[in-house]
Structure 1
Amino acid sequence: MRRRPSPNDGVPPDNNPTEILELDEPYDDLYDEEIEGEYRDYDEDYDDYDSGYAERVDESRGSARGDLEEKDRADVDDDAEHDSDDREEPDLLDDVDDELDTKREGKGRRLVKWAGALALLALLSVGAFFGARELLGFGYDDYDGPGEKDVILHVEEGDVTSAIAAKLVELDVVASSEAFIKAGEDDERILGIQPGYYQVKTKMSGEAAVAALVDSDSRVGHLQIKPGTKLADVIQPDDSVTPGIYTLLERASCLRVDGEEQCVSADELRKAADSADLAELGVPDWAVASAEKAPKGHKLEGLIAPGVYDLRPGGDAEDLLSQVLEASATRMEAAGLPSAAGSTPYSPYQILTIASIVELEAVKADFTKVASVIYNRLEINMELQMDSTVNYPLKRPVLTTKAEERAKETPWNTYSMYGLPETPIGSPSMEAIEAALEPEETDYLYFVKCEENGLSCFNVELADHEAARKEAQARGVY
């Protein structure tokens, strides 16, 4: 029989690698005992391993010969010799590895099952906690009652419910954001809270805080000025009072401090406007010189633009005026003042004055035409003769002025003077300012209200104007 060459052939004895074969039963026993922490004597294990190995090899060979007895002996001998030479012990090692892998896989599956069970228990615990919190209402801090001390909350543009809740916590209005958010879940009005200032109290329950913010009475510092509004109050023909800007500012300034309402009065505002440095107060540079020449009580006329304001409450008269003047300057700049005035024959302040007349004399659709009449009359040095300028200093203005009123000399009466009034006669809208900057190109010198919707009829000749006026009166337009 041929011997298969060994890897150690030709290698000095001391350098030959030692071959270690790990077979079925002895290796398995040793592995199990190592896991249990019991160790056997190495020499005994080796002897058992050696004798067992020899016996298994003999049995294997005998079995192979018995199975092949019916075949050709010569072939069997050759095959047996060939099989004996070529058989490799790793066949036995494969069986051992398979058995070890099976045991390891079994233990791995048990670990996975335990991990899954623990994860399931954790999820059930979390679900139980949140379910109980939903049903029983615990899990966040909340105050009881309507609150204690008055404080001001500022809601800014873009603030969502969570941002408002965070600000309330910072002011100690609510104990936690969750208290406010939870209380507002069923109240859609919470989504309609507008930017501005709100009077609330410290240590309110979430429910009380929601109720306070959706109550319109809680909003402070909110101011709306309509186009054409004057600084002073105006008494209408039906004896109703149209509040002026100073009165509107007074109302917006009111807030509760320790249960008492405090306001900045209209008189305080008027005095501040007359005595303060206008530039420091916030009047635009282009308007300071002209405004300083205005009569007392009228210095800020036309310089506070119409629109909505959210004023920071708690300040004095100068603080309130500064807030509206600074915002107004920005709005006027957006309408074209002072930059666009350079393309006209007039200063930015004069454009503002023209715009204030346009605002009070016409409806929006006629703004550019009325502006053209003013331009045309000023160009030929013709009196403007606008009833709105006569009515301006009157506490009780009327649509059609009386002869004695038109004869009075005032800084604003354009029947008794040439040119523009000394100051604007109200707060012009942005559209009126734009019309004053770019009037329609016409030859019109006259206009009169001739339609019930406020539209006017425009004419070049006085005779045509008089005819249109009489017709309008006959139809009961005015």
Structure 2
Amino acid sequence: MLDENKKQEMFNKMKERKGEVKTVRKIVGIIALVALLIIAIVGLAGYSYVTSALKPTDPESNEKVEVEIPMGSGITLISTILEDKGIVKNAQIFKYYTKFKNESEFQAGSYALTKSMTLDEIIESLKTGRVYREPVFTMTVPEGLTLEQVADIVQKNTSHKAEDFMKKVTDAAYVEQLITEYPDLLSEAILKENIRHPLEGYLYPATYPFFEEDPSIEEIIDTMLTAMNTIVSEYTPVLEERETSVHELLTFASLLEEEATAQTDRETIASVFYNRIEIDMPLQTDPTVLYALGSHKDRVLYEDLEVDNPYNTYQNVGLPPGPIAGAGKTSIEAALNPSQTDYLYFLADKEGINHFAKTYDEHLSNIEKYLR
């Protein structure tokens, strides 16, 4: 009788365990099902959101929205502007869409876009440069010009005299005001005693559209500073990592702009300058002598190299006090991404082709070969 009771007790315990196992399995199954439902809902919501963001923000709207794309804007800034204006639903998705479609080369300008436009239509508009209003005139400022040369271009295209433009860009109070307005671009470095012109090298060289017949000098300066600010802001993380100032970057880039005779030479010339700076060897670049002299000459004479001026890199080690001209984006990027070489010398032959050398003897050989 006792054995029967034990058997019954064991049987009852086994039933209880089986019941517990079934209950646990049910709970696990329910949790797994809920998790799958959550994943499905999140995935569906994400898919729905992305799909929605790829569609026009308001398919029924034909209202024109004026959108300004500043000179030198990258896709990140353009995407943010479009989202802020309500032309696209999500800046990140528009950015990724353009990258997926391998679209680039968007043009600066003032656009009339609508919220009913598809992403492809928006991209096409930004690529073709169909502007909202035709500019009254455009003003082209080439790379490598000094402020005084920029002043001459302003005089040719507007009613402003070159001397009035120069008076404005060298006005201490005005420059102080600009430093406050453009804190990421301009610093007190441009006001140092040995700087010839505070804004030298800071007005970005480009072709600018103007939508009024006679813009003020301040508007012209602001337009060009804004363009440079946009360009330089792309490299802020690199400058911070290398502990390099914007002033040093634009100074270095201006030397490349004046020395390079071909786009591919800039990185190599940059390596020469960096190699010389590394060993405290004067840069000895002729454009700084011409800037120190304040005049253009087809040929720099030996006596010119003796001029006592802080911009003369034959007499002073390191970079000059500030930029000597307006550098374009190619030179700015070359200043940040020089070639890795052992070159210390270079010269341009009669056709403007640069030849590089590691030693002074090699350099003398190049002089004999290409210049005599």
Other-structure match for 1:138? none
Q: Does 1:328 align with 2:244?
A: no
CA deviations 1:254-279 (Å, max 9, x no partner) are 3xxxxxxxx22222221222223335
Query: Where do 5+ consecutive residues of structure 1 fail to align?
Result: 1-154, 161-190, 199-218, 233-243, 255-262
Q: Identify which of 225, 230, 248 aligns with 2:146.
A: 230
CA deviations 1:159-200 (Å, max 9, x no partner) are 59xxxxxxxxxxxxxxxxxxxxxxxxxxxxxx99867655xx
Question: In structure 2, what residue type is equivalent to 1:250?
Answer: Q
Cα separation, 2, equivalents of 1:394 and 1:196 = 44
TM-score, normalised on structure 1? Answer: 0.47
Bigger mean CA deviation after superposition, 412-421 or 394-403: 394-403
Q: 1:463 to 1:295 in 2, by over 3 A?
A: same
CA contact (8 A) 2:146 2:200 kept: yes
Q: Does 1:388 align with 2:304?
A: no
Superposed displacement of residue 295, structure 1? 5.3
Of structures 1 and 2, the larger Rg is shown by 1
CA contact (8 A) 2:111 2:131 kept: no
Cα separation, 1, equivalents of 2:325 and 2:305 = 19
Question: In structure 1, what residue type is equivalent to 2:204?
Answer: A
Cα separation, 2, equivalents of 1:197 and 1:273 = 28
CA deviations 1:330-388 (Å, max 9, x no partner) are 12324x2x332234363221111111101111121110010001111111111111001
Q: Identify which of 342, 356, 359 aligns with 1:461.
A: 359
Other-structure match for 2:345? 446
Identity of aligned residues (%): 29
Q: 1:439 to 1:320 in 2, by over 3 A?
A: same
Cα separation, 1, equivalents of 2:342 and 2:275 = 7
CA contact (8 A) 2:109 2:129 kept: no
Residue pairs, 1:227-266, within 5 angstroms: 227-232=143-148, 244-252=149-157, 254=158, 263-266=159-162
Q: Secondary structure at the match of 2:146?
A: coil
Question: In structure 2, what residue type is equivalent to 1:322?
Answer: D
Q: Does 1:344 align with 2:242?
A: yes
Superposed displacement of residue 287, structure 1? 2.9
Superposed displacement of residue 296, structure 1? 7.1
Residue pairs, 1:358-377, within 5 angstroms: 358-362=256-260, 363-377=262-276
Superposed displacement of residue 320, structure 1? 2.4
CA deviations 1:269-323 (Å, max 9, x no partner) are 2122222333533544343211122657611111011111123544432232122
Cα separation, 2, equivalents of 1:277 and 1:374 = 34
CA deviations 1:177-233 (Å, max 9, x no partner) are xxxxxxxxxxxxxx99867655xxxxxxxxxxxxxxxxxxxx33x21111111111x
Q: 1:231 to 1:431 in 2, by over 3 A?
A: same
Q: 1:345 to 1:440 in 2, by over 3 A?
A: farther
Q: Does 1:278 align with 2:175?
A: yes
Q: Does 1:429 align with 2:328?
A: yes
Q: Secondary structure at the match of 2:187?
A: helix
Other-structure match for 1:290? 189
TM-score, normalised on structure 2? Answer: 0.60
Q: Identify which of 164, 181, 184 aligns with 1:268.
A: 164
Question: In structure 1, what residue type is equivalent to 2:317?
Answer: Y
Question: In structure 2, what residue type is equivalent to 1:333?
Answer: S
Q: 1:377 to 1:289 in 2, by over 3 A?
A: same
Cα separation, 2, equivalents of 1:196 and 1:392 = 40
Cα separation, 2, equivalents of 1:413 and 1:298 = 16
Cα separation, 2, equivalents of 1:396 and 1:248 = 17
Cα separation, 2, equivalents of 1:230 and 1:301 = 7
Cα separation, 1, equivalents of 2:324 and 2:183 = 18
Residue pairs, 1:59-74, within 5 angstroms: none
Cα separation, 1, equivalents of 2:187 and 2:111 = 35
Superposed displacement of residue 425, structure 1? 0.8
Q: Does 1:408 align with 2:307?
A: yes
Cα separation, 2, equivalents of 1:224 and 1:346 = 30
Question: In structure 1, what residue type is equivalent to 2:164?
Answer: E
Q: Secondary structure at the match of 1:389?
A: helix
CA deviations 1:400-425 (Å, max 9, x no partner) are 31122110111210011111111101
Residue pairs, 1:103-252, within 5 angstroms: 157-158=110-111, 198=135, 219-220=136-137, 222-232=138-148, 244-252=149-157
Q: Identify which of 355, 364, 367 aligns with 2:253.
A: 355
Q: 1:322 to 1:156 in 2, by over 3 A?
A: closer
Query: Where do 5+ consecutive residues of structure 2 fail to align?
Result: 1-107, 114-127
Q: 1:352 to 1:467 in 2, by over 3 A?
A: same
Question: In structure 1, what residue type is equivalent to 2:252?
Answer: I
Q: CA-atom RMSD, angstroms?
A: 2.7
Q: Compare relative contact order (CA 8 Å, sep 6+) and give the higher one, 1 or 2.
A: 2
Cα separation, 2, equivalents of 1:405 and 1:283 = 37
Cα separation, 1, equivalents of 2:339 and 2:245 = 19
Question: In structure 1, what residue type is equivalent to 2:331?
Answer: A
Q: Secondary structure at the match of 1:405?
A: helix
Cα separation, 2, equivalents of 1:464 and 1:444 = 10
